[in-house]
Amino acid sequence: MASEKLSSEAEVEEYLRKSLANRVSQTMYKEILSEVLKTWRKHGLYIDELKAIADEVVKRYEGSIVEPGEPVGTVAAQSIGEPSTQMTLRTFHYAGVKEFNVTLGLPRLIEIVDARKKPSTPYMEIHLVEEYSGSEDKAREVQRAIETTTVENIVKKIDIDPFTGITIVLDKEMMGDKGVTINDVSKALEKLRLGEILADEAESTISIVPKELIDFSKLEKVRRNVLSLRIKGVKGVKKVIIQRRTIQREGREVEEYVLIAEGSNLRDVMSVEGVDYRRVFTNNIREVEEILGIEAARNAIIREIISVLEDQGLDVDIRHVMLVADVMTWSGSVKQIGRHGVAGEKSSVLAKSAFEMTVQKLVEAALGGEVDFLPGVAENVIVGQIVPVGTGMVELYVKPGLREERDESSQ
């Protein structure tokens, strides 16, 4: 090769920057630079060779860019839809996190795109701050603070008598396990306003002397109220388990304890001592939207869909999923993608009537004096025009003055 060899790393970088900067994305540039430098250190590089690499990169990159008019939505729908048929026949419910069930597979995917108010199996992933994440005892402390403990969890025996009142015998072992003292219990019981509370610490017995006779018909109800009384924990979070994970931190393998919670309450869990509020995650997308905003909800949608697909061993390009998330969050709140597409987005009368209730839709449109500007694919197929996709989208304007008007009408 006739050309010169590159003499220093700086020169390689300089040359690569000149030929690639602003033509490919930042991440890509960084990656290519590191690869090129690796090769240069090993074998050296000629200017011609680097030029060939840069040209090829730009060619490939530009070839991968979406062209104007490409129906990305349709492609995304097909790219997610087809693999989804593969998972239908497999898992519906599956013990994902050992101890409790998590909806996975197609039902979960449908749930996400439907933008339900609450997932059928809400759960949270709670990371802890560094001082807590390394030790199991500390993690247990946080677990106890978050996990809901009701009277039912720690009771050995409960007697209820309309004349003498309620006697609760507590299980000491369970109390120790949950980190509850008898004082906690009596304090919580005060909220029910059943009467005077007498706690006997040695016998771990609590008796409640009612102010008046308890109505016979209400005995069972009172019993249930007492048993389901929440002593401590975060509302809405039922069971919390501790998971041990091995992660990479500063190049070393470190053990980290992570809490997985059944049920979800982002706001309250975020302010619990020991919890790293930057890394509290939930699978409840509506909750993310409400507490962390629409951009976080977008991230949640992407993450959830990808995790469902990956879990099923399906390989779907993330860009399709990102498009779905973008469309769902476009209007500032999470919109569902149902049978009618993204709710309320379809403006064409013909497209609407092509789907369901043809006559009604047409009559309604006629009564309302609606105008169809034929913006989409379906309506153009109906009237026999070229669909506005790919080259069909190209329109030529002769008079610049007309442009304004056309823009108005096609929206």
**Which residues lie below 8 Å from residue 181, measured CB to CB, with a gap of 6+?**
175
Measured CA to CA, the distance from residue 242 to residue 265 in angstroms comes to 17
Evaluate whether 126 touches 256 at the Cβ level (below 8 Å).
no
State in angstroms the smallest separation of the CB of 279 from other proteins. 5
Residues 263-282 that bind other proteins (CB under 8 A): 267, 270-271, 277-281
How many residues of this chain bind other proteins (CB under 8 A)? 33
Q: Closest separation between CB of residue 322 and other proteins, Å?
A: 7
Which of residues 75 and 322 has its CB atom nearest to other proteins in the complex? Answer: 322
69 near other proteins (CB under 8 A) = no
Under the binding rule (CB under 8 A), the answer on residue 332 touching other proteins is yes
**217 contacts: CB under 8 Å, gap ≥ 6:** none
Residue placing its CB nearer to other proteins in the complex, 224 or 267: 267
Rule CB under 8 A: say whether 314 interacts with other proteins: no
Map residues 282-301 to x or -, x wherever contact with other proteins holds by CB under 8 A: ------x-xxxxxxx--xx-
Binding status of residue 329 toward other proteins by CB under 8 A: yes
By CB under 8 A, name the one of 322, 354, 387, 389 that touches other proteins. Answer: 322
Stretch touching other proteins by CB under 8 A, among 39-47, 204-212, 252-260, 314-322: 314-322
Only one of the segments 36-44, 226-234, 243-251, 328-336 lies at the binding site for other proteins (rule: CB under 8 A); that segment is 328-336
User: 90's torsion region: left (phi>0), alpha (psi -120 to 50) or beta?
Assistant: beta
Contacts by 169-175 with C-beta closer than 8 Å and gap 24+?
A: 169/203, 169/204, 169/205, 170/204, 170/205, 170/206, 171/204, 172/204, 175/204
312, 303 Cβ separation under 8 angstroms: no
- The percent of the chain in helix, strand and coil, each rounded to the nearest 5, is 50, 20, 30
Contact predicate 143/230, CB 8 Å:
no
In one-letter notation, the amino acid at residue 268 is D
Question: Do residues 269 and 123 touch, judged by C-beta distance below 8 A?
Answer: no
Point out which span in 20-28, 130-138, 343-351, 380-388 binds other proteins (CB under 8 A). Answer: 20-28
User: What is the closest distance, in whole angstroms, from the C-beta atom of residue 278 to other proteins in the complex?
Assistant: 5
CB atoms within 10 A of CB 300: 24
Annotate each residue in 94-113 with x if it binds other proteins (CB under 8 A) or - if it does not, as one string. --------------------
326 in contact with other proteins (CB under 8 A): yes
Contacts to other proteins by CB under 8 A? 25-28, 30, 267, 270-271, 277-281, 288, 290-296, 299-300, 302, 318-319, 322, 326, 329-333
